[in-house]
């Protein structure tokens, strides 16, 4: 972790979580990767998964707008602004 930055507590402690990442907010991620998870959210929940989280390499403001545009429902979208794709 970069000097001077603190990691926030992970809010899913004790939960079953599926975490997937996308390297950017491009067409392939929006049309292939994310929909494949969205199609299976109900099955994941039925299997005991408490949260499905998408980690994207982007600034928080950009990723929220992208998530709304792509129509991500049932998946928490979080940004990794300091990551490199």
Q: What is the pLDDT of residues 1-31, one digit of tens each?
A: 445 555 555 566 678 888 888 887 777 777 7
For residue 25, the domain's CATH number is 3.40.30.10
Domain that holds residue 38: 17-79
CA distance 29 to 41: 17
CA distance 37 to 53: 10
Tokens of 48: 């005991």
- 66 belongs to a structural domain: yes
**pTM tops 0.75, yes or no:** no
Q: Is 29 a catalytic residue?
A: yes
Question: Can you give the pLDDT at residue 8?
Answer: 54
CA distance 14 to 7: 18
User: Looking at the 3D structure of the chain, how many domains does it have?
Assistant: 1
Instruction: Single out the catalytic residue among 25, 29, 30, 79.
Output: 29
């Amino acid at each position: 972790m970069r000097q001077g930055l603190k990691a926030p507590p992970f809010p899913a402690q004790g939960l079953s979580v599926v975490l997937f990442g996308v390297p950017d907010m491009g067409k392939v991620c929006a049309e292939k990767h994310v929909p494949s998870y969205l199609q299976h959210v109900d099955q994941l929940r039925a299997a005991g998964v408490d949260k499905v989280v998408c980690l994207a390499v982007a600034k928080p403001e950009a990723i929220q707008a992208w998530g709304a545009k792509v129509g991500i429902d049932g998946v928490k979208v979080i940004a990794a602004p300091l990551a490199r794709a």
